[in-house]
Amino acid sequence: MLAVSTREELFALHAVRRIRSLIGQRFALELDLVPLETRADDASAPHAPIVVGGRPCGLLITRGAGAALAPTERAWLTALLAAAADEIAIFLAEQEAPTDRVPEHALERGPEGLVGSSPAMQAVYRVLAKVANSDATVLIAGENGTGKELVAKAIHQASPRRGRRFLVQNCSAFNDNLLDSELFGHRRGSFTGAVSDKPGLFAVADGGTFFLDEIGDMSAALQVKLLRVLQDGTFMPVGDTQPRQVDVRILAATNRDLAGMVARGEFREDLYYRVNIIHLTVPPLRERPEDMAPLVAHFLRKHARGRMKRLAPACLDRLLRYRWPGNVRELENEIERLVVLAGDARVIGEELISPRIGRAAEVDGSGESAAARGLPAAVEQLERKMILDALRRTSWNKTRAATDLAISRRNLIRLVQKYELSPPGRNRAD
């Protein structure tokens, strides 16, 4: 357990003090630091462990009778707690010994590295656990970037076939003839360029699992051949006259409405019912805001490559207010970009966020602008934007920026601290 004097010192850290103030103002809650075995009065309340060198040493929780939290508010509060826990972990690590390692984050993981513990992802995990031990065909639906391939891999790793091959083929990657050869193989001389026999991916995957991505893009002719494999486990390589027998579990994925395609005659109805024995939908990121903080922590660890990195609270807040049409894939790409552009800076500021995300985040995920949340929020948003624009125009020369804004340099410095602004690639607190 941390000593009382240490606790007071930790709460005096600038970022932690700022986060305590935000939590108090916005949620009417008090931040508290307790031993790891202690939990909040409500076990489901947002919390964040403090982990130093892989060793948990405390827990940040909130106390008080605040109002019930909406999902977006809970995600925002969880992100603030995680940021405060990171700041404390960094401070404690530096006190013990200088290190360039990234502090461990308590990531809430699902099967095979799937990250997230939101109700939407828990529903996915429950279905996954039930289908893993069977050979039933699973149709994994979801928008682009939601992680359908990761879910398929998790099913394979939890199944009795986990010691055998797991192959992936995107059905939109080739034209009809090439995909036919890729899936089912061909005999030498069966077409121009076929200089030798080639086994198809179904033959290679024999005994294992074959994941067919974007199955809705498969042609009618190939749908017939796939139906044959699903029905009796046989297929005919291109140019061959003898059918081949395989034992393959098929998992399929699509971001299209297959039922609508069946109604329009664009997808075979019999194949639809064969691949749709178990239907599993991966939720888009905007429907699981509670998972943003652990996903951000996961991608920071992945791309920081052993260096300590964290997002400034304002940066994290902007990411939370973005809709993420590209889902988890877009989030990972943005975190990788932020890590690269931050250079040696330990704290990543919001000025490095991609312009498209920065502009879109001016309106939050519910479509509500700052003005709609009240005059004070709108004024703060405008003030912050004007200060940041002036600092960028003057290459972060505070004297010139203060002149442009018609305020004193001392007042500008106070406002820069208030909004936690810092130049690109530099940690303001260092």
Burial state string for 106-139 with b = 16 or more CB within 10 A and e = fewer than 16? bebebbbebbbbbebbeebbebbeebbeeeebbb
Looking at every residue in the chain, the average pLDDT score rounds to: 81
The pLDDT score that the predictor gives to residue 366 is 44
Q: What is the mean pLDDT of residues 132-137?
A: 91
Q: What is the mean pLDDT of residues 26-34?
A: 81
Between 177 and 204, the higher pLDDT residue: 204
- Residue 270 φ then ψ, to 5°: -65, -40
Position 423 confidence tier, pLDDT thresholds 50, 70, 90: confident
Residue 41 has pLDDT above 70, yes or no: no
| DSSP β-ladder status, 209-213 and 166-170 | parallel
Indicate the range of 231-240, 312-321, 421-430 predicted with least confidence: 421-430
Q: Are 288 and 118 in contact (CB under 8 A)?
A: yes
Indicate the range of 44-53, 112-121, 267-276 predicted with least confidence: 44-53
C-alpha dist (Å) from residue 55 to 3, 61, 86, 273: 17, 18, 13, 50
Look at residue 168 and give its three-state secondary structure. strand
The pLDDT score that the predictor gives to residue 335 is 94
Domain boundaries, the chain: 4-110+287-368, 119-281
**Percent of the chain clearing pLDDT 90 (strictly above):** 30
Distance spanning both ends of the chain, measured CA to CA: 28
Residue-level length of the chain: 430
Position 269 confidence tier, pLDDT thresholds 50, 70, 90: very high
Q: Are 84 and 90 in contact (CB under 8 A)?
A: no
Position 97 confidence tier, pLDDT thresholds 50, 70, 90: very low
* Helices marked H in 305-394: 313-321, 327-342, 355-360, 375-393
Residue 234 has pLDDT above 70, yes or no: yes
- DSSP letters, 207-231, are TSEEEEESGGG--HHHHHHHHHHHH
| DSSP β-ladder status, 138-141 and 55-63 | unpaired
Q: In what order do the strands lie in the sheet with 55-63?
A: 30-34, 55-63, 48-52
* Helices marked H in 269-326: 269-275, 292-304, 313-321
pLDDT tens sequence across 138-182:
999 999 899 999 999 999 999 999 999 999 999 988 888 888 888
Indicate the range of 74-83, 217-226, 272-281, 285-294 predicted with least confidence: 74-83
Question: How many angstroms separate the CA atoms of 421 and 336, rounded?
Answer: 21
User: Are the folds of 4-110+287-368 and 119-281 the same?
Assistant: no
Position 53 confidence tier, pLDDT thresholds 50, 70, 90: low
pLDDT tens sequence across 296-349:
988 998 898 877 788 888 888 888 888 888 999 999 999 999 999 998 888 898
Position 363 confidence tier, pLDDT thresholds 50, 70, 90: low
The pLDDT score that the predictor gives to residue 102 is 31
CATH topology for the 119-281 domain:
Rossmann fold (3.40.50)
Question: How many angstroms separate the CA atoms of 279 and 95, rounded?
Answer: 51
C-alpha dist (Å) from residue 54 to 89, 95, 179, 208, 306: 10, 15, 47, 36, 13
The pLDDT score that the predictor gives to residue 253 is 94
CATH topology for the 4-110+287-368 domain:
Helicase, Ruva Protein; domain 3 (1.10.8)
Position 228 confidence tier, pLDDT thresholds 50, 70, 90: very high
Two structure tokens written together for 364: 């939050």
Q: Confirm whether pTM is higher than 0.85.
A: no
Residue 107 has pLDDT above 50, yes or no: no
